[in-house]
Structure 1
Amino acid sequence: MTQRRVAITGLGLVSPFGGDLPDFFARLLAGESAVHFLQTDDVPRPLAIPFVSCPGFDADAELGKPLAGTMDRFAQLGTAAAYRAWQDAGLSRGQPAENRENWGVSWGTALGGTLAYEKGYKELWIKGRERVSPLSVILGMNNAANAHISIQLGLGGVSMSHTVACASSAIAIGEAFRRVRSGEAPVMLTGGSDVPQAYGVARAWEALRVMANCDEKTAAQACRPFSAGRTGLVLGEGGAALVLEDWEHAVARGARIHGEMVGYGTTCDHSHLVRPDAAGQVRALNMALADAGLTPADIDYVNAHGTATAEGDPVEIAALRTVFGEAAARLAVSGTKSMHGHQLGAAGAIEAIITVLALREQAIPPTAHLGEPDPACAGVDHVGTGRAQQLRAALSNSFAFGGSNAVLAFRAVTP
C-alpha cells in the first residue's frame, strides 16, 4: 500500500495564558509558568491545590450560548480548540466546497464529562433534589467533544474518542495519522481536552500522593520535572487540536504547512498499573523511529512526558538513554509541563503542538524551574533555558497509567 505524506496544516489551543499560539509559545520560551494556587468553596473541605486553568476562556462568546449549554467544559474547550485549528488550516466552517463524508475526528480525553456527573451528585445528595438535568448523559459522555466537532464542521467520516489516561490525545493523534497516511481520510481533525477540576478527581490524585507540594507563593514553580527538588505533578485543564492532511491535498489548496508528522509508536508495559517500565517506553520510541524511517541520530529534540513525579522521570530518561546510546548526552530534552501543567487526556495534544512549533520556529522551550537536575535523570541535554537551535526532527512522549505508551515523530518543513 502506498503511504501518503501527512502535513500539519492547522494548530489550535485554548491557552492558559489567555493569548494566541504565538503568545503561548513565546511565554514557554521565556520559561513563564501558568500554574496558580486554586482554592474553591467546596463544602465541607475546599480544594487548595496548584492548578493550571484557562480563566480567559468564555464558552458562550466562543461557541454561542445555545451550543455551549449542551456541553460539559471539557467539550467546550475541545470544540473551541478544534475551531481554532480549523480556522488556522484555512478551512471553512460553513457549507464546504468539497465532500467531507470521509473526513474524520479522532479525539482524546481521560475524564470526559466528569463535571456533569459531579454536578448531578451534588444536586441529588447535597441539595436534596429528586432528579438531575435531562442533558446529563450527553454532557457527560466521553465522545461528546468529537461528536460536537463532527456535527459542527460537517465531517462524515470516523468520529472516535480515545480514553487512555495521560496518553489519550497522543494516541488519538497517532490513529488519525495512520488514517491519513493510508489514504483512508484526506483530512483528520485530532487532539484532546480534559478538565480534572472535579472535586472527587482532584481528591483522588491527592490520595495517590503524586501532587506537587506548594502554597500560594510557591505555586508558579511547583512543577519541576527532572529536578532533584521535585515534589510531584500539577493538574490543569485544556484543549488542543491539530489538522492532519494528505500532503498533496494540502498543497493543491495552497495550505500553509506547519510541519510533517512522520511516525507513531504505541506499546503497553504490560507489567503494572501505575509503575512505569523503561522497556515498554523503549519499544514505543523505537517503533516511532522505525515508523518514521528515522534513526536516533536524526532526532534533535524530545518533548518529554516529564510529569515531575519521583518515579516517572528517571524511568523516561533511562528509556531515552537506552534508545539514543552515546548520542543521548547531546539530545535536547525538556518537560514543558513545568509551565502548562498536566492536562491528562489533553496533554499529548498540547505537547504535540509545542513540538511542531519548536520545529517550525527552530527554538526549544525549557524545563522551567529545573535548578539542580536529579542525578537519576542525568545523561541527556536538559534544556533549562529556552534557546534557538537548529532542529530537523523531534519526538513527543506520552506515557500513561495502565502502562500505555505513545510516541509521536515530527519533521521540520524546509523552505
Structure 2
Amino acid sequence: MKNRVVITGMGIWSCLGTSLDEVRDSLYTGKSGIVFNPERKQAGFRSALCADVALPDLKPFIPRNMRQFMPEEAQYAYMATRQALENAQLDLDYIEKHEVGIIYGNDSVAEATMHALDKFREFQDTAACGSGAIFQSMNSTVTMNLACLFRLRGINLTASAACASGSQSIGLASLLIRNGLQECVVCGGAQEANMYSVAAFDGIQSFSVREDDPARASRPFDRDRDGLVPGGGAATVILESYEHAVRRGAPILGEIVSWGFSSNGDHISTPNVEGPVRSLELCLKNGGITSSQIEYINAHATSTHIGDIREAQAIARIFGDRNVPVTSTKSQTGHEMWMAGASEIIYSMLMMKNDFIAGNLNFENPDEETACINVVPERQETHFDMFLSNSFGFGGTNSTLIVKNL
C-alpha cells in the first residue's frame, strides 16, 4: 500500500502579497503585480517591465552571521517557509525531534555570484569575495540555508529544472512520502527578482515591451501577447503522509493525487506538443484519474507566442472538447520562473478553498491555435475539488501535478 500525500501548510512571498490572505484577495480582485522599473531601462534593458516583489527584513529573525550566507531568493524562501511551518502547526520543538526533509526548486544565483566575482576582479584577491560568497552562489543555497535555520534533518535536495523546478520539488517530495522514505518534507520554489538574473532573457527578446501599460503586458493565450514579464519571490508547501498528519493533528488542506513528468527530447528553447502531452498523460495515469475529473487547469502559459500555442494544443489533445476552465495566473504575477510551479499550486489551492477561479487577465482575443481551450477571462464564482497544474521549462523539462480538495 502506498502512502497518501497531503498538504498541511502553505507560505508565500509574491508580488501579489506576502501572506496567504493578501494573495487570496489579489487573486480574487484581479490585482496585477507588474510594474515599470526605470532602473532596468537605464541599465540597458529592452523591456523595463517586471513584478514588484518586496525585499524582506530578516533582522528580527536571523542573526547577521547567518544572514551573510543568504542571497535574495533564500531570503524570500525563508519568509515563505516561516509562514508555511506556522500554517502547518510545525514548531521547532517538533522538528528537532523528528525527521523533516527539504526539497526546494532553484536554478540560478546570478546576483550573488556576480557581486563576489566583481570584488575578486576589482581587488585581484580571492579573499575579497567574502566568507559568505560560496554559500550564496550555489544553486543549493536555498536548501542549505533553510535546512540549517529550521533544523531540518531529513532529505536535503535542490531541484534545478528551469521553470519546472518548483513543481518538480513537490513531485519528488510526494514520491518519497508515497514510498515511505520520508514522512514530512518542506518543498517549494524560489526566484531572485533582481535585474541581473534575467538580463540574458531580455537579451534574446523574451520579454513584453508593452511598457506604457504594465498591468496589461502579461497576456497568456491572447492573440496580441508579445512576451513574458519576469517575476520572483518564493512559495513553500509542507507535504506529509496522511497518517503522519493525522497522528500529529495537523490541518489537512489538500492531497497530492499524482505527479507526471517528461522531457521533450527536442529543441533546448522551443517547446513541442508531444512532451507536454506525455507529462499530462502520465499524471492522469499515475493517479488513476480520468480527464473528466479535472475541474480546473492552472496552465504554465507564460505569454510567449509559441509556448502558449504548444500548451493549448497539448491540453486540447488530452481533454478533447471538454469545457474545463483554463487560466494562467501569470497574467497577474508575470513568470515567476523557478518559483512558479510551487506558487501556482498555492494560487490554485487558495482559489479552490475559496470557491472561485481567478480570471486570465488581458485575455481579449484567442488566436487560431489557442481557441481550442476554454480560457476564462473573468473571475468565476465556482466550487471545484480537483485541479491540474502544468509547469514547463527550458531544455524541454515538463512537470504536471494533480491536487484534490480535502
Q: TM-score range with shorter-chain normalisation?
A: over 0.9
Counterparts of 1:173-322 in structure 2 under 5 Å? 173-199=170-196, 201-215=197-211, 217-322=212-317
Matches within 5 A, 1:4-403: 4-40=3-39, 45=44, 49-55=48-54, 57-93=56-92, 95-96=93-94, 99-101=97-99, 103-111=100-108, 113-125=109-121, 127=122, 130=125, 131-199=128-196, 201-215=197-211, 217-327=212-322, 330-403=323-396
Aligned residues: 404
Shift of 1:152: 2.0
Distance of 1:285 and 1:248 partners within structure 2: 28
Of 52-61 and 18-27, deviating more is 52-61
SS in 2 for 1:96: helix
Query: Structure 2: which amino acid aligns with 1:21?
Result: L
Amino acid at match of 1:190: C
Alignment-mate amino acid for residue 335 of structure 1: S
Instruction: In structure 2, list runs of 5 or more residues that go unmatched.
Output: none
Q: Tell me the secondary structure at the aligned position of residue 280 of structure 1.
A: helix
What is the CA-CA distance between 1:206 and the residue it aligns to?
1.2
Structure 2: how far apart are the matches of 1:97 and 1:310? 45
Question: 8 Å contact 1:9–1:256 — kept in the other structure?
Answer: yes
Distance in 1, Cα, partners of 2:30 & 2:242: 34
1:43 and 1:120 map into 2 onto residues whose CA distance is 23
- Identity among equivalent positions (%) equals 29
SS in 1 for 2:331: helix
Task: Give 3-state SS (helix, strand or coil) of 1:220's partner.
Answer: helix
Residue in structure 2 matched with residue 411 of structure 1 by the alignment: 404
Q: Using a 3 Å threshold, how does the CA distance of structure 1 residues 237 and 229 change in structure 2: closer, same or farther?
A: same
Query: So what's the TM-score if we normalise by structure 1?
Result: 0.93
Question: Which residues of structure 1 form unaligned runs of 5+?
Answer: none
Change (3 A) 1:43 1:225: closer
What's the CA shift for 1:129? 5.9
Following superposition, the deviation at residue 120 of structure 1 comes to 2.2
Q: Deviations over 1:293-349 (max 9, x none)?
A: 11000001000001000110011010000001121xx11000101111112111111
In the aligned structure 2, how far is the partner of 1:326 from the partner of 1:284?
19
Measure, in 2, the Cα distance between the counterparts of 1:35 and 1:156: 38
Q: Confirm or deny: 8 A CA contact 1:336 1:365 kept in the other structure.
A: yes
Take 1:212 and 1:179, find their aligned partners in 2: how far apart are those partners? Answer: 39
> Secondary structure of 1:86's partner?
helix
Counterpart-to-counterpart distance in 2, 1:395 and 1:153 = 31
Query: Cα RMSD (Å) of the superposition?
Result: 1.9
C-alpha separation between the residues in 2 aligned to 1:56 and 1:147?
20
Q: Which residue identity does 1:342 align to in structure 2?
A: H
Aligned in 2, Cα 1:196/1:24: closer, same or farther, shift over 3 Å?
closer
Which amino acid is 1:123 matched to? K
